[in-house]
A and B are shown apart, each in its own frame.
Chain A
């Protein structure tokens, strides 16, 4: 397995002249921009990791004249806060990325869906946006961005749920197909990209695909912003090259007593100490939208699991059976096991249930609840039972 060490990178927060990059991008053809993204190997930074160039290629191929670029700033995954930091520090690069995406797929409208929890950022973001609109006007390019605010619903980070929310409805994920690139917000072809992805696309245009491609591994190109929290002396935001092992990460950020790292938030995977060495952080190992949570030996993994399950039972949209009822069953199930009211072997039934949720739920939320459940229960079974 290809592996890189821990290397800090400064790409996302690097100060640049956006006008210069945008002028360069607008001179390129749609096809050239898409090729650049494909060549860079960039995969979406929200967590799902769909190749950005491919998404744009599909959206660009749609004949419909009205298309949308949606920036997914509904950063709700527990343990993730990098998008807030990006918006706080380099919003102009997010807007720039949206304009580049617009050029790539021929969209004139951009929508930023900002989670309600980050509403306090809105005044400064609007100021930045005004500057951006002015700048883009000066370049002579037509692209308008507006804001939609969330109001507290984790599931709205799921792309089709986000569209529903923008359209004024309950944020319930849609059936797929059709996919967003065919029928997204307002039923129009839409490229929906994560905040960090959009900034990265701008940096790829600036520095060229080759520079980005050099970083990372075969399956995980480039660098990525990590949100580090939990039992660490240095919590915060760190941009790191992809491809390091969990061990290298723990060596850098751990407090010397790390027993597990939850990679990818509540919907991600729990990596126990014995697997630190052989687990790569990236799409070949454990993928992450950036959330890295460290737990030391003072923590009860039962509490961690319980907290996550409680979260999912509340934040499931509730429309599909496996997720709505499954989350409640997992939660109640581990409680009963802990209290000794059911046999500990009941955990095996719950793991099977988590597997069903993974393959039968309607959207990514229900499909990923099993990740944390399985990895915590399998690796810390005794903590769940006793």
Chain B
């Protein structure tokens, strides 16, 4: 153990602990900016400088490991003056149009300015000296370099968590900037729109492209019927933006809030998640039959899930030769969208051209996905607007709803029923678990052999998870699978997805079915979720997801009454002709830069 003093308080910590973490243990707050718990230490912003007795310079608490006998002071005049200078310097290169900024009151620089640099600014405005541009090319997010404070959280995110490096630090000195490949528009580079950078940007330099006003316009247009769907991960995170602790489930209040905001039909993406399981499960079993029984060389396994649009774009850019392995199923959002303007319209006797389809997602890649040209199989744009969890919270605040005191209520019918299987889509491993719950039962006629249906090996925060399910006692139709060991893998965060893809490319993958989610933790850690997001927060949200599942009466996709009804009334059976028209899609090879 290493002994040191911080502000005259003695503490012993493990070797390798940083001064920042040691101070935290003493409940001494040292301000930080470039630091983020999900990312490696940078030591760039220098906001966390503290004084070490005997040292010539100040030290950055985030990057300095403790040493024996260290004597640290976090709030001397020297430290305060330096910190004030540093915050002032950052403000001088940052376009401070705070009251008009999307991140107003959610900006970490603004918070620091509030603490250290209020009153007259010392330094000259540098923003006018740079020819900053605002990149609005992506349908998912906006990159505004005039608000960038060069903390490089986004770059570290893109590299360390997502293995993409669509953005990198370019140039040096006064011209240093965060840039795509040779300043190309973000819509024309390898970016997956996952939004993890947006989630970590401390300022308004990277923000989601918002469609709040368009949605309000639709709500207030009497000619329009506004349908809204909510993704599973939204209900376990929305509360964070409305004053709740991470991990609080607010499903019932969420539904009431949407109703009070004026949406006409409040429906659930979970329904479409259950539908996805039916389609994807059938696709998997069909592929396995083709490969194992028919010896069909044109059928590709392992089959990859396709619910995560960030992941889909990743494979399109980086591993296009494996696009045939990607399930042809659209994501639940898009299945829902295609059905809202067809099946739902018929059922409710609505003119589909008058339906505005809105989805509330933990994701910003969903905005991009909704914009893909393939996603118009209803004859219209299947999903009109995608809002993030954060944007919904903004709408709830704008409408002045007293969220905490709302009476919980239930989703509307037709496409509002859900099961626990649909809910767990929101966490890494959830799609796999839901698929196994259904596929195993289709094949054997029995429930999966896991206590209380909880397939624990596929759960948790491990970057790559593997499981093997032995299939025994098959029904007559599925005898060819008797005794087979179904090997599955799950990855979340594209850096982990890449590990699996490397194996696949090397021909070393033993897997039949692989679930991949672009974001760490799956959708609960999505780019559109409340800020901050960290491992601890993701774990709380994950716990809430599984608790939501446990509290459901129905926990298997094929038992969802609305799903049963839609196959009976509209689709026929999974992978039917109608299904293929509406619920399946194709993919496009893209450049790797």
Contacts and interface: CB of A to CB of B under 8 A. Distances in A.
B82 A359 contact: yes
Contacts of A362: 43-44, 46, 60
A336 B123 CA distance: 12
Contacts of B45: 320-321
Contacts of B47: 321
A177 interface: yes
B460 to A, nearest CB: 31
A360 B85 contact: yes
Contacts of A175: 41, 43, 60, 63-64
Interface string B160-173: 00000000010111
Interface stretch (B86-94, B220-228, B561-569): B86-94
Contacts of A170: 169, 172
Interface string B115-127: 0000000111010
Contacts of B455: none
B126 A360 contact: no
A329 B174 contact: no
A322 B85 contact: yes
Given A319-B44, A319-B150, A358-B57, A324 B86 contact: no
A318 B86 contact: no
A317 interface: yes
A324 B173 contact: yes
Contact of B89 (A317, A321, A336, A342): A321
B269 to A, nearest CB: 42
A343 interface: no
A325 B88 CA distance: 10
B46 A361 contact: yes
Contacts of A325: 89-90, 92-93, 126
Given A315-B173, A356-B81, A359-B57, A177 B65 contact: yes
A172 B293 CA distance: 57
Interface in A318-358: 318-322, 324-329, 332-333, 336, 342, 349, 352-353, 356, 358
B563 to A, nearest CB: 52
B174 A360 contact: no
Contact of A318 (B43, B63, B173): B173
A155 interface: yes
A313 interface: yes
B49 interface: yes
A324 B124 contact: no
A332 B173 contact: no
Interface string B67-91: 0000000000010011001100110
Contacts of A327: 173-174
A360 B173 contact: no
A378 B438 CA distance: 79
Interface in B16-34: none
Nearest to B130: A328
B212 interface: no
A108 to B, nearest CB: 30
A316 B172 contact: yes
Contacts of B89: 321-322, 325-326, 329, 353
A1 B130 CA distance: 49
B58 interface: yes
A314 interface: yes
A167 B174 CA distance: 24
A170 B177 CA distance: 13
Given A362-B43, A367-B57, A329 B126 contact: yes
Contact of A352 (B63, B85, B86): B85
Interface string A288-306: 0000000000000000000
A162 B513 CA distance: 46
B interface residue count range (under 10 / 10 to 19 / 20 to 34 / 35 or more): 35 or more
Contacts of A324: 93, 150, 173-174, 176
A329 B89 CA distance: 8
B78 A318 contact: no
A305 B458 CA distance: 64
B193 interface: no
A361 B124 CA distance: 20
A318 B176 contact: yes
A11 interface: no
Nearest to B171: A318
Main secondary structure of the interface of B (DSSP, over half): loop
A329 B124 contact: yes
Interface string B92-113: 1100000000000000000000
A280 to B, nearest CB: 21
Contacts of A312: 173
Interface string B34-66: 000000011111110100000011101001110
A314 B174 contact: yes
A158 to B, nearest CB: 13
Contacts of A107: none
B58 A329 contact: no
A250 interface: no
Contacts of A342: 124
B129 interface: yes
A317 B172 CA distance: 5
A153 interface: yes
B152 interface: yes
A246 to B, nearest CB: 24
Contacts of B85: 322, 352-353, 356, 360
B55 to A, nearest CB: 9
Interface in A39-69: none
A313 B86 contact: no
Contact of A336 (B41, B93, B124, B176): B124
Nearest to B81: A356
Contacts of B56: 359
Interface string A149-160: 000010100000
Contacts of B64: 175, 177
Contacts of B78: 359
B229 to A, nearest CB: 43
A153 B85 CA distance: 27
Nearest to B177: A318
B57 A318 contact: no
Given A349-B122, A360-B49, A317 B152 contact: no
Interface in A132-184: 153, 155, 170, 172, 175, 177
B129 A328 contact: yes
B173 A313 contact: yes
Interface string A347-386: 0010011001011111000010000000000000000000
Contact of A317 (B49, B65, B176): B176
Contacts of B150: 318-319, 321, 324
B86 A360 contact: yes
Nearest to B122: A349
A319 B93 CA distance: 14
A337 B470 CA distance: 79
A132 B45 CA distance: 45
Contacts of B169: 170, 172, 318-319
A263 B172 CA distance: 26
Contacts of B46: 320-322, 360-362
Interface string B221-258: 00000000000000000000000000000000000000
Nearest to A316: B173
A248 to B, nearest CB: 30
Contacts of B43: 175, 320, 362
A360 B57 contact: yes
A336 B122 CA distance: 14
Contacts of A353: 85, 89, 122-123
Given A170-B172, A175-B64, 5 more contacts: A153-B172, A175-B43, A314-B172, A333-B124, A367-B57
Top 10 A-B pairs, shortest CB-CB distance: A318-B176, A325-B89, A175-B63, A356-B85, A175-B43, A316-B173, A360-B82, A359-B57, A314-B173, A313-B174
12 contacts: A155-B172, A316-B172, A318-B171, A318-B174, A327-B173, A329-B123, A356-B81, A356-B86, A359-B82, A360-B57, A360-B82, A367-B57
